[in-house]
Structure 1
């Protein structure tokens, strides 16, 4: 445990110097919120069944936050360590190489948590964001966010396991990340998508995360069993595939 805490501290310092994941997890969602919140405000809209733009956007942007760390930062960190033989070297020392994998996950999850808190605070302070109406709704939202996080990290784990190099991991992660955030409702509301784009969005796990979070937060209509089942399936299948396929060197 003492060794793990030191590795987590090391990874935290390393993450603080890495501009891209910190910016896209902490600043980018808030910038998106300020831009669209500044344009549309949070007045009830018929397009969103009487809900405000900010109220609809914040649960969706939470998926954006966890996608940044789960689909980009986490797998690229693992691929970098493997490509540069860091994990191979540490397997020959008393420090378990698995400690770096655990530390990578913990630090990225903490970054996701910080980004989520910052996003919600900005919405509440500047745009009159309506929080979940009841304690049970808040707990359901937390559970949905944890499930969405696990799904994104499971996919990220598969990316890290399959990519033969750091460069390949970067290419694959980008190919997964950008469609996932732009076609799922995590950035642009699904309600304004044409029918063909909605059909494409149904193939993306992030779509079900957005739907589930908006439901738990706002009680919006969705197929909860389908959303939960898809995300849980992604977690199980992704985790099994990542564990079986991951190479230390």
Structure 2
């Protein structure tokens, strides 16, 4: 007979259950891996993430050159930083908000709510997935820009400064996207996310410098889209740190993350 559990001669199995939640960082990493796979499998999100920025870059460069539109420099040099900023906004805000909104509708977020994963872990996991997809975006867009003749002039500091802008921009837009998706119905999230994206694309000073908008340019400085575009242009064109725009992104990220953590509803 098998010795009684805990008695003399009892055998301790290496497969004894050890109930309990995994450490917080391990939960976040697992969530980020799952979110990354879901985003890469979704053709509609990849369309927003890659095709629209590529069309904006190619169409803008060709249109400026053939239409004789005067910019502060070569069209490809002026537009590329803005297109990279647009790609961050596309993935971190529009794609993330729409995907999360429909995950709530289908009950997936509700099931996550029953797990030990807290709201902050869900937020960080989704931001980690967005950053992974943005690496793919950056590689593709930089290759297209170089093929069009892009010549970055920011020097050796341009890359770390652009990475800093991308991380802060992702934090700001992802937290706002999750706030939108976590408080509204999926259909409303779809409509509002697309509407906000189009408004910021046209009038948010993300593609073109704020100086292109005349007297309203100063007012646009408080928008996260304008701050992200300014930070990318400062890094890739001038090789300088845009402290003001980066601070704007930090403020938006803190406000959005705080609101999303408190108001996000699992169903």
Q: Normalising by the residue count of structure 1, what TM-score does the alignment of the two structures yield? A: 0.81
Residues 79 and 166, structure 1, Cα contact 8 Å, conserved in 2: yes
Cα distance change on mapping 1:105 and 1:114 into 2, 3 Å: same
Residues 64 and 70, structure 2, Cα contact 8 Å, conserved in 1: no
Task: Tell me the equivalent position of 1:157.
Answer: 178
**1:128 equivalent among 149, 169, 186:** 149
**2:260 equivalent among 242, 245, 249:** 242
Residues 77 and 104, structure 1, Cα contact 8 Å, conserved in 2: no
Task: Tell me the equivalent position of 2:60.
Answer: 36
Map 1:56-205 onto structure 2 (within 5 A). 56-92=78-114, 96=117, 102-124=124-146, 126-163=147-184, 165-188=185-208, 190-196=210-216, 198=217, 201-205=220-224
1:23-58 Cα distance to aligned partner (Å, 9 max, x none): 1212221222222223445xxx9730xx21111111
- State the alpha-carbon separation in 2 of the partners of residues 179 and 203 from structure 1: 15
Stretch moving more, 52-61 or 225-234: 225-234
Number of residue pairs aligned between Structure 1 and Structure 2: 239
Residues 76 and 145, structure 2, Cα contact 8 Å, conserved in 1: yes
The answer to whether 1:228 aligns with 2:250 is no
The answer to whether 1:214 aligns with 2:233 is yes
Cα distance change on mapping 1:63 and 1:22 into 2, 3 Å: same
- State the alpha-carbon separation in 2 of the partners of residues 71 and 8 from structure 1: 16
- State the alpha-carbon separation in 1 of the partners of residues 101 and 114 from structure 2: 19
- State the alpha-carbon separation in 2 of the partners of residues 14 and 111 from structure 1: 11
RMSD of the TM alignment (CA)?
2.9
- State the alpha-carbon separation in 2 of the partners of residues 2 and 232 from structure 1: 26
- State the alpha-carbon separation in 2 of the partners of residues 181 and 214 from structure 1: 16
The structure whose Rg is larger is 2
1:132-182 Cα distance to aligned partner (Å, 9 max, x none): 44222321122122212211112112212321x111211221232221222
Q: Compute the displacement of 1:68 (Å).
A: 1.1
Cα distance change on mapping 1:100 and 1:148 into 2, 3 Å: closer
Residues 70 and 108, structure 1, Cα contact 8 Å, conserved in 2: yes
Q: Normalising by the residue count of structure 2, what TM-score does the alignment of the two structures yield? A: 0.76
Q: Compute the displacement of 1:200 (Å).
A: 5.8
Secondary structure of the 2:101 match is helix
- State the alpha-carbon separation in 1 of the partners of residues 140 and 226 from structure 2: 22
1:37-86 Cα distance to aligned partner (Å, 9 max, x none): 23445xxx9730xx211111111011111111111111222222222222
The answer to whether 1:19 aligns with 2:43 is yes
Residues 78 and 104, structure 1, Cα contact 8 Å, conserved in 2: no
- State the alpha-carbon separation in 1 of the partners of residues 238 and 209 from structure 2: 16
Cα distance change on mapping 1:52 and 1:151 into 2, 3 Å: same
Cα distance change on mapping 1:90 and 1:184 into 2, 3 Å: closer
**Structure 2 unaligned regions, length at least 5:** 1-24
Secondary structure of the 1:247 match is coil
Cα distance change on mapping 1:200 and 1:134 into 2, 3 Å: closer
**Structure 1 unaligned regions, length at least 5:** none
Residues 210 and 218, structure 2, Cα contact 8 Å, conserved in 1: no
